[in-house]
Amino acid sequence: MHDISSPRFARIVGTGSALPERSVSNAELVAELAERGIETSDDWIVERTGIRNRYLASGDETTATLGAQAGQRALDAAGRTAADVDLLIVATSTPDQIFPSTACLIQRELGAFGGAAFDVQAVCAGFVYALATADSMIRSGLARCALVIGAETFSTILDWSDRTSCVLFGDGAGAVVLVADQLPGILSTALHADGRHASILCTPGSIRKGEIVGHPFLKMDGQAVFKLAVTVLDSVAREVLDKAGMAVADLDWLIPHQANIRILQFTGRRLGIDSGRVIVTLDRHANTSAASVPLAFDVAVREGRIQSAQHVLLQGVGGGFAWGAVLLRF
């Protein structure tokens, strides 16, 4: 997306995340679903997906409240305040309202007034889309300090009678603070979409004239998504490495979208990256869509795994079909 010889970079200086209070293990979910006559098991969920737990929003918890908490934690980690933020981008497919954007609601909550604020809707690729957008805006001089958030409450669009999808997702938020700097920084980005596959992962319903029109819950052809995901995750990783003149061996960490452990393992093997260098948090959080990558990033930073000056490759993939990657020096 950009030439890395440019002197102006966008650099991540802080990360944060937030989860709903309610943690739900597979065993608890299996018991709850059994009460509704839906049959599933911990064994099936672990074996097919690697998921053991998820967090589900309840009470007053929304995409905006979770996003604001994650954003504030990222600002604290960066030693910045809301007043420093001149760009706020939120990646979400589960906004609190049709409008205004969740970014404006979070801006109000944080008190980060006056700068640009908008949402990016690229489903599970949303965070890399938002990060690449913020990177471009900083490099072009349009912004100096960006708060980029991925926040979702997918539990609100799940069909809890569909066992093929309802066991896969969780709620949460992750955030980074990105500033203009002479030091890299984000090294390369790549974004793609192919709308011909729109129907394999979608929530087709909408509100028209006060009525819900069409199916208002998530629908997924899991196997079609799986096949496409492993192909594009491999090609987009190679694309951002090529753009930056780097090789897989130069990478310290790979953070793919946290959808399914088999997709993560397959992607790692195909790229030839050691499994110990692939960050995995989907066992704890399940698939949190646009929140999954920044959530995993923040967990790995706070656990002391990702360290300053290391090279990290972030990847998103999902509904659209949309996918992308960001290669950065932390």
Of residues 2, 257, 285, 311, which has the active-site annotation? Answer: 257
Beta strands in the chain (DSSP E): 9-18, 22-25, 53-56, 87-91, 116-120, 145-153, 171-181, 186-193, 201-202, 206-208, 211-213, 219-220, 253-256, 311-318, 322-329
Catalytic residue at 257?
yes
Catalytic residue at 287?
yes
Of residues 26, 124, 166, 260, which has the active-site annotation? Answer: 124
Using Cβ positions, the residue closest to ligand UT7 within the complex turns out to be 222
Distance CA 192, CA 127 (A): 13
Q: Under the rule (CB under 6 A), what is the footprint of ligand UT7?
A: 40, 44, 48-49, 124, 163-164, 167, 201, 222-223, 225-226, 229, 259-260, 263, 287, 289, 318
**Shortest reach from residue 185's CB to ligand UT7, in Å:** 28
**Shortest reach from residue 88's CB to ligand UT7, in Å:** 24
Query: Omega into 99 within 30° of 0, i.e. cis?
Result: no
**Shortest reach from residue 128's CB to ligand UT7, in Å:** 13
The answer to whether residues 309 and 330 touch, using CB atoms and an 8 Å cutoff, is yes
Q: Return the residue matching tokens 């309610």.
A: 22
Q: Which is nearer to ligand UT7, 14 or 50 (CB)?
A: 50
Q: Which is nearer to ligand UT7, 136 or 217 (CB)?
A: 217
Query: Omega into 100 within 30° of 0, i.e. cis?
Result: yes
* 181: Cβ contacts below 8 Å, ≥ 6 apart: 8, 9, 10, 11
**Shortest reach from residue 139's CB to ligand UT7, in Å:** 29
Q: Which is nearer to ligand UT7, 225 or 314 (CB)?
A: 225
Q: Which is nearer to ligand UT7, 45 or 187 (CB)?
A: 45
Where in the sequence numbering do the catalytic residues fall?
124, 257, 287
